[in-house]
Amino acid sequence: MEHEVLKVWCEKFGVRPEDDKCRLLLKYSNMIYRHEGFNITGLKNADEILKTLVLGSLEPFLRLNVPRGTSFIDIGTGAGIPGIPLAIFFPEFRGFLLDSNAKKIGFINNAADELGLRSVTAVCGRAEDIGRDGDCRESFDFVFMRAFGSLYISVELGAPFCKPGGMVYVYSSGDSADKCAEIMQHLSALGLHHLPGVAHKDAGLDDSGTVFKKISETGTMYPRRYAIIKRDSSKYTKKK
């Protein structure tokens, strides 16, 4: 492995990904860099994309145990983050990447073909619609979400996809974990239980995001329409 950013990152986190994985992560970063239109603010070159976006999206999961056949859904995947890096780093994963932007889904499909990833499926659609689909509902071991803003919105959109016993991981996005107390009733209806930071390591996750375990089925009324979820989320916004 000759690439300096990858070398430093691997040394920092004590991981030794195979050369082929490193090659694919680097290739994917370059593909994002060469493609216009993803509005990756502030990332000016391929090395920054590799370090901040691609490798950064992997960092919470480096100790994750992924038995063969484990499934995940990446909701609002954008250019394929974190779904593509996860599929590269954990070839045992089966991934479902969801986004409402058809051009981004087209990019992901092309990227998966070029990278030789046969374990990922990219679908264009909205989470509030696909979450009611019988083939997707409560069928994933892990649900990954980023850049949704409100924790209330994230958990309602994500919970219907997660099978009982699975995990919902929300990347940090301005909502601190102590806000979970404000939406506890909502969590109960969704079948989720908030895991405190001490439990993250037991699950193979770091504490940079907010983690929920699916303990029961999600109520059939969920997910609601996005406009309704967003309206109700304002009830749980703390006054400054």
Which of 38-42, 46-50, 90-94 shows the highest mean pLDDT?
90-94
Higher-confidence position of 98 and 36: 98
| CATH code at position 102 | 3.40.50.150
pLDDT value, residue 74: 98
pLDDT at residue 123 tops 90: yes
Number of domains composing the chain: 1
Residue 34 is assigned to a structural domain of this protein: no
pLDDT value, residue 240: 39
pLDDT value, residue 16: 78
pLDDT value, residue 70: 96
pTM score of the predicted model = 0.91
- Give the structural domain span for 90: 68-236
Q: Which whole number is the average pLDDT over 168-194? A: 77
Residue 152 is assigned to a structural domain of this protein: yes
Q: Which whole number is the average pLDDT over 84-110? A: 95
Q: How confident is the model at residue 12 (pLDDT cuts 50, 70, 90)?
A: confident
In order of 141, 197, 209, the CA distances from 169 in angstroms are: 11, 12, 7
Buried b (16+ CB within 10 A) or exposed e, 130-149: bbeeeebbbbbbbbbbbebe
Q: What is the number of alpha carbons within 13 Å of residue 231 lying toward its C-beta?
A: 5
Residue 81 is assigned to a structural domain of this protein: yes
Q: 10 Å Cβ neighbour count for 17?
A: 18
Main-chain dihedrals φ then ψ at residue 75, nearest 5 degrees = -90, 130
Residue 136 is assigned to a structural domain of this protein: yes
My answer on whether omega of the bond before 82 falls inside 30° of 0, hence cis, is: yes
In order of 13, 59, 143, 223, the CA distances from 82 in angstroms are: 18, 10, 11, 23
Higher-confidence position of 2 and 73: 73
